[in-house]
Amino acid sequence: MKKITLILVLLCSINISSQTLDDYLQTASLNNSDIKVKTAEFELAKEQVNEVANLENTEFDFGVFVLTPETRVGSQLFKVGASQELPWFGDLDAQKTLQATKAEAKRFDAILSERELLYQVKVAYYNLYKNEAVTGILKDNKEILKIYENMALAALENNKATMSDVLRIRVQKNELHSKIFQNINSIDLLSRNFNRLLQRPINELIKVTDSLNVLDILNVNNEIENHPLLEKINAQNAIYESELEVINKDQAPKINVGIDYFLVDERTNANPPDNGKDILMPKVSLSIPLFNVKKYKSQKSQVSIQEDIVKNKIENQKNLLEMELESTKLNLNNSILNVVAAQKNKAEIQLAINVDLKAYETGILDYDKILRLQIQKIKYQLMEIEATKNAFIAKSKIEYLTD
């Protein structure tokens, strides 16, 4: 039993450690309720294509003659009839095409919802990465300050340091201690919200990568032409084109075909040829829009205005997306520059620290100076992590705008 439990624990550990950002994105897409709703609405709209493009109800009528009209071959007793309206050629196909274009527009709602969700998941993931990396940096530097504190205490016994040196180091160490726990609390909140985005238990364990390299994101896409928001607006334009076709077909005449049956009673006072013979009367009628031309003209004008609105919407939305893309690319470039600057300054400060520690072997260590250098190093370490996070969020925004 213990072996089985151990195997299960190991399998769970393997599963957790194998989780990547792509895995989380897939989980979010599969679980998200809003995507499910919009996908269902798209499926509903597709199903409604089968609802349209059908013939109108067949009309049946029945009438009894209260005063039976007399004919040469007998009295008419009652009449039974049936009729069916038939649309003009291509009318049903035009209605079907219209509903299909409306359904296609619904498809982009689900795509946009998923794209927004994936961007939110990436932002949450990179914020988690930043906070976990910051926690590691603060813990490492706290340990370094402990070493400095012990060195200062040893030097204090030999009158090579002062108590103020020890206290200043302790103050910085206590400050890092406080920031570590503040950061841990932030990680806890970010983790719960991350699981909420994935719509899974909020306490489920999250595995975040240990490192990110901005060199992996130097090449980005610059095209916004295929953004689903633009495609959705274009789909709206296709709806108006289909509506215009339906209006043109609706203007055409409509044919009504049917048949009437009259039951005729036999005459008893005479016996003419075909005495009592029933009447069967096929009929055809034509419905022509003669006095509602203004109605169709107005409908066409409305469609034309709507098409102009769509064209302007596309141009305006395209400009907005291009502006957002340029701004995001600037953020990405600046973030990468900040990463490079932080790495260089961090390395230079470490060299200065190494020089001072080397001098300590032959003389007195300037604790005030080395403490300032260590604080500066922490500043650039945190700057590097913040800039790395911002760079990857900018990359995610570019993916949202272009992919």
For residue 25, the domain's CATH number is 1.20.1600.10
In this prediction, residue 3 carries a pLDDT of 41
Give pLDDT, residue 88.
Answer: 67
Rounded-to-integer distance, Cα 9 and Cα 1, Å: 12
Domain membership of residue 209 (yes or no) is: yes
Q: Is residue 20 part of a domain?
A: yes
Q: Please give the tally of structural domains in the chain.
A: 1
Helix, strand, coil % in the chain, rounded to nearest 5: 70, 10, 20
Alpha-carbon gap, residue 223 to 106, rounded angstroms = 24
pLDDT for position 13: 41
- pLDDT given for residue 224 in this prediction: 83
**Rounded Cα gap, residues 303 and 247, in angstroms:** 10
Which tokens is 319 given? 């400009």
293 in a structural domain: yes
In a domain, 222, yes or no: yes
Does 381 reside within a domain? yes
DSSP symbol at 69: P
In a domain, 43, yes or no: no
Which domain does 350 fall in, by range?
2-31+87-253+288-402
d(CA 62, CA 80): 5
In whole angstroms, give the CA distance from residue 109 to residue 41: 9
pTM over 0.85: no
Helix axes 228-251 and 293-360, enclosed angle (nearest 10): 170
**What crossing angle do the helices spanning 91-157 and 163-197 adopt, rounded to 10°?**
160
Closest to 39 in 3D by CA, of 373, 390, 47: 47
User: Is 281 domain-assigned?
Assistant: no
Sign of the CA dihedral running 28, 30, 31, 37: positive
Q: What is the pLDDT of residue 52?
A: 76
Looking at residue 334, what is its pLDDT? 95
pLDDT of residue 15: 44
168 to 40, 213, 358, 363: CA distances (angstroms) = 63, 35, 22, 21
- Residue 222's pLDDT is 74
Instruction: Identify whether 58 is part of a domain.
Output: no
Per-residue pLDDT of the chain (403 residues; tens, 9 = 90+): 344 344 344 334 434 445 899 999 999 999 999 999 999 998 898 888 887 766 677 777 877 776 676 666 667 777 788 777 777 677 777 788 888 888 888 899 999 999 999 999 999 999 999 999 999 999 999 999 999 999 999 888 888 888 999 999 999 999 999 999 999 999 999 999 999 999 999 999 999 999 999 888 877 777 788 888 898 888 888 888 888 887 777 777 777 788 888 777 777 777 777 666 777 778 887 777 777 778 878 888 888 888 899 899 999 999 999 999 999 999 999 999 999 999 999 999 999 999 888 877 767 788 889 999 999 999 999 999 999 999 999 999 999 998 7
Please tell me whether residue 138 adopts helix, strand or coil conformation: helix
